[in-house]
Amino acid sequence: MIKGDLENISNYLKDLKFKKKLINGIDEEDVWHKLDLLEKEYEKAYQSLLDKSNALLEEKDATIERLLKK
């Protein structure tokens, strides 16, 4: 379900912390790694939404077909 996925993303962002470096503040490699994880979470949320939309479209088509046969 998309709501659960978005809650996961929200919680991930709330708890997000980057490794610190003595020079230049934060570890750039860690930032890129965490952005990659975030992207994967968004991809899962998008796929969930797409799957739900496709299921609804299939249900609509089946209902229309059933009604036309009556």
Output Rg (C-alpha) for the chain, integer angstroms: 20
- pLDDT bin (cut points 50, 70, 90) of residue 1 is very low
The total domain count for the chain is 1
* Domain limits for position 4: 1-69
pTM for this predicted structure: 0.72
pLDDT digits (tens, 9 = 90+) for 52-65: 999 999 999 999 99
DSSP letter string, 2-68: HHHHHHHHHHHHHH----B-SSSSB-HHHHHHHHHHHHHHHHHHHHHHHHHHHHHHHHHHHHHHHHH
